[in-house]
A and B are shown apart, each in its own frame.
Chain A
Amino acid sequence: MNNERRAKIHSLASGLLKFLSGGTLTVIGLCVLLVLTIGGTVYQVEHGLYQAQKDYFQSWIVLLFGFLPFPGGQLTLWVLTLNLILASAFRLKRTTRALGLHIIHWGLILLLVGSFISYRFGQESQVTLFEGEQANVSVDYRLWELAVWSESDPARMVSAIDFDGLGAGDKFTLGTLPLTIKAAYPNARATANGLEAVKGGNPEQRLPGAILAFPGGAQQLVWAGSEPQALILGGVTYRLALRRIRYPLPFTIRLLQFKKETHTGTSMAKSYESLVEIHQGGASRQVRIYMNHPLREAGLTFYQSSYAEDRGRQSSTLAVVRNVGWWLPYASSGLIFLGMLLHFIVMFYRKVVRHETAD
């Protein structure tokens, strides 16, 4: 009986392993990706790029046509990653002949893992400065945070939490301030009586809002469109803000000068560059940032992104990108190339040897 059970489990596991490591699953996965690419492209027309990425490619399940559950991009890519790992571990033979194929598989795995690392740990934000201004944080393009700081704190130590994913009933402490979310709206508008949920709308123009409750029964409304709200609790004046996520920079960046050149006779920008001062650990240095010459510092890359003018004053916007896995696509491409080359050499050698033997 015990042996029968073991045999049954063994047979089930073998069947599952065969399917998970098999080419059938690869083909299914690639077909799903094809559908997602077409669906996501069509979806993007009406909902924008950001929402299409979120709903189709970063999700586990997507509702096609608004009702039909279908594997999302993230689920499909994880399944394909698993498929590649299992294929290399169990399906491909461990022979010299298959060495190239193994390397190609691991190159592809590295490419997928690299994508995940960029998606999960990469950050894209921006810093906008007028000449003479400085910043020690960059601002996310899309994501929101609930931030609290004490007004009397000269260093302005901010405690913050990502707003995405917060819902009614969530309890946590920001700094020394315990709070409960009474209501959270991904998109809201402020009315004379408080907040009102807004349905739909362009995701990139949404302004979230929330109602917070504090010990002792105090309640506070925060809305992304409003200035930081004051709250006095226990003799301390706090400021509460629902705003774009701030990412601390490991240094202070000051815009010294912004230069713009225009094409002769037009107001069209030909080139623009920012002269910035990096201040870190008591030392300062000046750096020019211009097209194709970003500043790379402490794992961050600052690109010249845009500019604005106002009554003779100029502001510069620098895109700030942190991508710890930036080297992975290069490494994976190298691996894939190496694997293909090796496989080609092995196959070529075998063909030549076989040919000579036949002669």
Chain B
Amino acid sequence: MTLPSKSRALIAILAPLLLIIACSKAKPRQYSELGQKGTTGAHTEENCPVHANEPMGELKWTTPTGWKIKAATGMRLASFQTGNDLDCSLIPLSGEVGGIPANIRRWLDQMSVNIDAKDLERLCQGVPKSTSKAGIPYQVVDLTPYTGASGESIIVSVSTFSDVMLFIKLKGEKAKVLADRKAFLSLCDSLSR
């Protein structure tokens, strides 16, 4: 059976179109990449310049008095049980973690606190830069003023190294977070190599 010429023409036009639009499944690819010095994809947010230093290397710290060391599981470098029974952890994460503004927004989301872009920018600009006694830079993001009196709150220290960002998190009931704040800051201050 032969098809009419118009039908053949229609098929001739449709077939390549279907071929063009057919989805192709992703295939593995290979490329050579310079080491960590080569790319720094994390430094993309202008509002909160971050510390960019050497690689993190092996860090040391002093456990605050009254805190208990817990097993460091999963991604954690260390875990503590604070004097007020809160959980505090040291978590190193690679560069693709969205910078400080994105993290502040995420933490506030976790606390069910809404923040508009201007307030976020203001908050970011107000994040102080500090260094530990041994010269390790860190920035403490204290979100206790932004959370309700009875709910959960969080204080996070962020140290940006050339290979990872180190987060030290203290999260829990706001009153307890405030009570543990001083010890938390002493932990940040004790960071050394």
Contact = CB atoms under 8 A, between A and B. Distances in A.
Contacts of A307: 46
Interface in A68-116: 78, 81-82, 85-86, 89-90, 116
A336 interface: no
Contacts of A10: 4, 6-7
Interface in A200-254: 201, 205, 207, 223-228, 241, 243-244, 246, 248, 252
A306 B38 CA distance: 18
A165 B44 contact: no
Interface in A175-207: 175, 190-194, 201, 205, 207
Contacts of A2: 1
B68 interface: no
B25 A165 contact: yes
Instruction: Classify the interface of chain B: helix, strand, loop or mixed.
Output: loop
| Residue among A149, A159, A225, A228 with most chain B CB within 10 A | A225
A176 to B, nearest CB: 11
Given A126-B44, A308-B46, A173 B28 contact: yes
Interface in B6-21: 6-7, 9-10, 13-14, 17, 20-21
Interface residues of A, number: 74
B60 interface: no
A6 B77 CA distance: 75
Contact of A159 (B30, B44, B163): B30
Given A135-B38, A137-B31, A308 B45 contact: yes
A148 B44 CA distance: 24
Interface string A314-343: 010100000000000000000000000000
B17 A315 contact: no
Contacts of B41: 126, 128, 139, 243-244
27 contacts: A6-B4, A10-B4, A10-B6, A13-B4, A16-B10, A86-B10, A134-B34, A139-B39, A159-B30, A160-B31, A162-B26, A164-B26, A165-B25, A173-B28, A225-B75, A225-B93, A227-B92, A227-B93, A227-B94, A227-B163, A227-B164, A244-B41, A246-B33, A306-B46, A308-B45, A308-B50, A311-B51
